[in-house]
Amino acid sequence: MQTEFFKIESENDIDKIRCVGKILKDGGVVGIPTETVYGLAANALDEVAVSKIFEAKGRPQDNPLIVHIADFNEIYNLVSEVPPEAVLLAKHFWPGPLTIILPRSSIVPKSVSAGLDTVAIRMPSHPIARAIIREAGVPLAAPSANVSGKPSPTTAQHVWNDLNGRIDAVADGGTCIVGLESTVVTLCQNPPRLLRPGKITPDELAQILGEIEVDSSVLGELQKGVTPASPGMKYKHYSPNANVVIVRGKFDNFAEYICATNHDGVMALCFDGEEKLLPVPCLSFGKKEDTAQQARTLFDALRKVDELGAKTVYVRCPASDGVGLAVLNRLLRAAEFEVIDL
Ligand code: TXA
Ligand code: MG
């Protein structure tokens, strides 16, 4: 398949946005920018189009998709009940990096939700994403636009590298400003439960919802035989080919540990300013105190680690407060929970 590439300057780049909208209307799949990561979009109400997403990504059939809307009113078609908490969350955080899980209406194909009777809904804030959804005229199902298991894409080039030849088009809307996927919260449980951390933090959600629970899969490894609340949490994720190891502790101990390793094929992912102090090739993923910057940079850094051919990469452990919780959540999965405490 020939994959078209559209460089879209802004939401006013109408001609190209129309082209992308038409591909989606006609049942195609397109990599589109959002503020979090690039999504692989198709008409959420068209089962055949949705099946192309699973095929292009190599995504397991039991991992449900998020449905993206541009206007709040679209939600009434997609879910069978809109509780007051959903309206409150939308008022505060939409458009933006929050996904809300609600009871699915029968108009949404079962395959979108991988057979669950719930559906995940998000209204992105990226102006180009919103223009594309409006132009398509239908809600768009979109997982992250990476090959399943790889780090999520934060640039159109990442999408192109993963999916060129397997999808109809890529819409380049620049680098994603958040850099990690949306926060996922379910209102189908009482109290509401955080399933995936993101830029919107548990504290921010609690300010609106009162009590919220944080699912044990956020920082813990899923136990064998337990059904995960969010199916995506059971898969190996966000992983470069290199073996990722998180090292928790002070920088001096980190440096000492790296010095003592066999340096062959070893790299370090560290914080700004630490690169020169380590005896192996290093990449920084942001300032130590700036977890928002780490969020923005992490996936690109994980992809670069592979381009540089590293066999093992030792990673400095981020602080787990604020958006750091999301950075740590993604890193733990990339490392398959391999953490060294020093
Ligand atoms: O920021 C984002 O959310 C990006 C952009 C493109 O919007 N999308 C994204 O989609 O990250 P994906 O498919 O990579 O991750 C969706 C997550 C998965 O962990 C999935 O299991 C969970 O949301 N999910 C989707 N529907 C669900 C449902 N009905 N119940 C529980 N978890 C659900
Ligand atoms: Mg994903």
**Nearest to 133, CA basis, from 48, 17, 36:** 17
Q: Whose CA is nearest to atom 18 of ligand 1?
A: 232
Closest-lying ligand 1 atom to the alpha carbon of residue 39: 6
Ligand 1 pocket: which of 99, 128, 140, 188 to mutate (most atoms within 8 A of CB):
99
50-94 pLDDT, tens digit per residue, is 999 999 999 999 999 999 999 999 999 999 999 999 999 999 999
Q: Whose CA is nearest to atom 13 of ligand 1?
A: 143
**What sign does the dihedral 115-118-124-129 (CA atoms) show?**
positive
pLDDT of residue 147: 95
Q: Is it the case that residue 200 has pLDDT exceeding 80?
A: yes
Residues flanking ion ligand 2, Cβ below 5 Å: 144
Q: For 13-27, 186-200, 236-250, which range has the lowest pLDDT when averaged over its residues?
A: 236-250
CA distance 253 to 317: 12
Q: Is it the case that residue 197 has pLDDT exceeding 80?
A: yes
Protein residues with CB under 6 Å of any ligand 1 atom = 34, 36-37, 39, 63-66, 99, 101, 113, 116, 118-120, 122, 142-144, 181-182, 184, 195-196, 230-233
Closest-lying ligand 1 atom to the alpha carbon of residue 113: 29
Q: How confident is the model at residue 221 (pLDDT cuts 50, 70, 90)?
A: confident
pTM of the complete model:
0.96
255-276 pLDDT, tens digit per residue, is 999 999 989 999 999 999 999 9
pLDDT of residue 302: 96
- Domains, the chain: 4-218 (3.90.870.10), 243-341 (3.40.50.11030)
Decide: residue 117, CB within 10 A, 0-12 exposed, 13-18 middle, 19+ buried.
exposed
CA distance 133 to 17: 10
Ligand 1 pocket: which of 61, 65, 66, 116 to mutate (most atoms within 8 A of CB):
66
CA distance 69 to 133: 7
Q: How confident is the model at residue 22 (pLDDT cuts 50, 70, 90)?
A: very high
CA distance 278 to 230: 38
Show the tokens assigned to 90.
């939308």
pLDDT of residue 259: 94
Closest-lying ligand 1 atom to the alpha carbon of residue 59: 13
pLDDT of residue 251: 97
**Nearest to 143, CA basis, from 195, 181, 108:** 181
| Ligand 1 centroid – CA 341 distance (Å) | 31
Show the tokens assigned to 308.
């540089």
Tally of CB atoms within 10 A around 231: 17
Within 13 Å of residue 337, how many CA atoms lie on the same side as its CB? 11
